[in-house]
Amino acid sequence: MRSVFLGIFLTAICACSADTGTEVDKIFQDYSGAVPGASVMVIRDGQPILTRSYGLANVEEGVPVEPSTNFRLASITKQFTATSVLMLVDRGKLSLDDSISEYFPQFPEFAGGITIRNLLQHTSGIEDYEPIYGDRFPEQVTDKGVVEIIAATERTMFPPGNEYRYSNSGYAILAVLVEKLSGQDFPEFLRANIFGPLEMENTVAFVDGVTSVRNRSYGYSVSTDGIEFTDQSAWSGVLGDGGVYSSVHDLLKWDHALYEGGLLSEELRQQSWTPGLETYGFGFRIDEYNGHKRYHHSGSSSGFRNHMQQFPDDRLTIIVLTNRAEPDVAPLADKVADLYLK
Q: pLDDT by residue (tens digit) across 118-127?
A: 999 999 999 9
* Separation CA 101–CA 23 (nearest Å): 52
Is the pLDDT assigned to residue 168 strictly greater than 70?
Answer: yes
CB 172, CB 129: distance < 8 Å: yes
Q: All domains of the chain, ordered by start, with CATH?
A: 34-340 (3.40.710.10)
β-bridge mates for residue 90, sequence order: none
What pLDDT is attached to residue 137? 57
CA atoms of 219 and 324, how far apart (whole Å) = 6
pTM confidence score: 0.93
Residue 3 has pLDDT above 50, yes or no: no
Q: What confidence tens digit (pLDDT) does each residue in 72-87 have?
A: 999 999 999 999 999 9
Please say whether the beta carbons of 129 and 141 come within 8 A. Answer: yes
User: pLDDT over 90 for what percent of the chain?
Assistant: 85
**Is-contact 271 207, C-beta < 8 A?**
no
Higher pLDDT, 1 or 155: 155
What are the C-alpha distances in Å from 269 to residues 272, 273, 274, 287?
5, 7, 9, 17
Q: Would residue 45 be called left, alpha or beta, if left means φ above 0 and alpha means ψ between -120 and 50 degrees?
A: left
Q: What is the pLDDT of residue 9?
A: 38
Q: What is the pLDDT of residues 44-71, one digit of tens each?
A: 999 999 999 999 999 999 999 999 999 9
Q: Supply the pLDDT for residue 133.
A: 67
> Quick one: pLDDT at residue 4?
44
From residue 99, give the alpha-carbon distance in Å to each of 105, 119, 126.
Answer: 10, 10, 14
Is pLDDT of 17 > 80? Answer: no
Q: What does the angle CA 95 – CA 275 – CA 130 come to, to the nearest 5 degrees?
A: 75
